[in-house]
Amino acid sequence: MKKIIAISICFLTISISTSAQDVLSVEEMNSVYKKEQVLNKNVRQYTHLREADVMWSRKVWREIDLREKINHPFYYPENDGVGYTTRDRKSLIDVIYSAINEGSITAYGNAAMDDEFREPMSQDDIKSIGGAVEELIEVIDWDAVAAGADPEDAKTSILEKKQFDRNSVKKWRLKEEWFFDKQKSVMDVRILGLAPLQEDRDQVNGRLTGSFSPLFWVYFPEAREVLINAEVFNSVKNDAERRTYDDVFWKRMFNSTITMEANVMNRRINEYMVGLDALLEAERIKADIFNIEHDLWEY
């Protein structure tokens, strides 16, 4: 009797362990521990800011070039239009674009002319982002025509889809506002908007022109609700200490170049300076912001 009970317990244990293996998720199968911290993170709210406490502010536009090594975590892994090469993380454009399709984030159009979030994109506009096309084309079944059918009757409609090539997004444009809070006596910055920049192609031969155009704008405080749970690769090669995109932007763990500051003619730097002079002008704007805070202190 004891042997029968022992054998029954053994079979029961094996069946339980087997069923436990069957319900393992893909994420659990690809890691030695279950990752829960990133999925359960909440957005860290900004501290309340009164108008009376802001004694100086300036809007600045900058661009993040994803071809720079420090910015590679924003670009990889690449998406071939079918799926991702990894499941535990996505590129920034994949995270933002997927959230827009799901309705979690609002995309604002006319991005080249309007960066003030005044024109929300419709579903038709979203489907055409980045040159994506869905159209019905008529195709003639020539086998049926050869068999004696009328060409008009042998026509069929096929839905042709051209996917948005997300790998063509090589830069991101940031709109942010720097301000001095006299209540806390600190210079601070808050990002207002994000816009992906796609490489332009010549309409005649399809060659890259070297210029970039914004596809849409997203309001960054709204996007933070999605970015806080989107894991990004840790450049110091420690997978146990990965951050989210919200962490990366909060800690400003990226390199960028200033392309515009608020000015009376609303001009970008490349409209009045080129080459090395444009880079020096960007550095001058950065130095001005630093000096404004520095000059408020007395040593």
| Spatial contact of 55 and 184, defined as CB atoms under 8 Å apart | no
pLDDT of residue 1: 54
Closest by alpha carbon to 80, among 162, 166, 206, 199?
A: 166
Q: What are phi and psi of 85, to 5 degrees?
A: -75, -20
| Spatial contact of 106 and 223, defined as CB atoms under 8 Å apart | no
**Sole residue written with tokens 């069946």:** 15
Q: What are phi and psi of 69, to 5 degrees?
A: -60, -40
Bond before 77 cis per omega within 30 degrees: yes
pLDDT in tens, 153-170: 667 766 667 788 889 999
pLDDT in tens, 230-284: 999 988 888 888 889 999 999 999 999 999 999 999 999 999 999 999 999 999 9
User: Given pLDDT bands bounded at 50, 70 and 90, which one contains residue 83?
Assistant: low
**Tokens standing for 208?**
């890259």
Rounded to the nearest integer, the mean pLDDT of the chain is 85
pLDDT of residue 115: 93
Answer yes or no: is pLDDT of 22 > 60.
no
> Residue 1, exposed/middle/buried by CB under 10 A (0-12, 13-18, 19+)?
exposed
Residue, of 45 and 2, whose pLDDT is higher? 45
| Spatial contact of 84 and 93, defined as CB atoms under 8 Å apart | no
92: number of Cβ within 10 Å: 26
> Under 8 Å CB-to-CB from 251, ≥6 apart: which residues?
243
Range from 39-53, 58-72, 228-242 that averages highest in pLDDT: 58-72
In this structure, the chain runs to a length of: 299
- Alpha carbon dihedral 89, 90, 91, 92, in 10-degree steps, equals -100
Name the residue ranges covered by the structural domains of the chain: 50-130+165-295
pLDDT of residue 29: 77
**Tokens standing for 141?**
């079944």
pLDDT in tens, 185-217: 899 999 999 999 998 888 778 788 888 999 999
Answer yes or no: is pLDDT of 17 > 60.
no
pLDDT of residue 239: 83
pLDDT average, residue stretch 26-50: 80
| Spatial contact of 190 and 46, defined as CB atoms under 8 Å apart | yes
Helix H or strand E segment including 293: helix 275-295
pLDDT of residue 18: 44
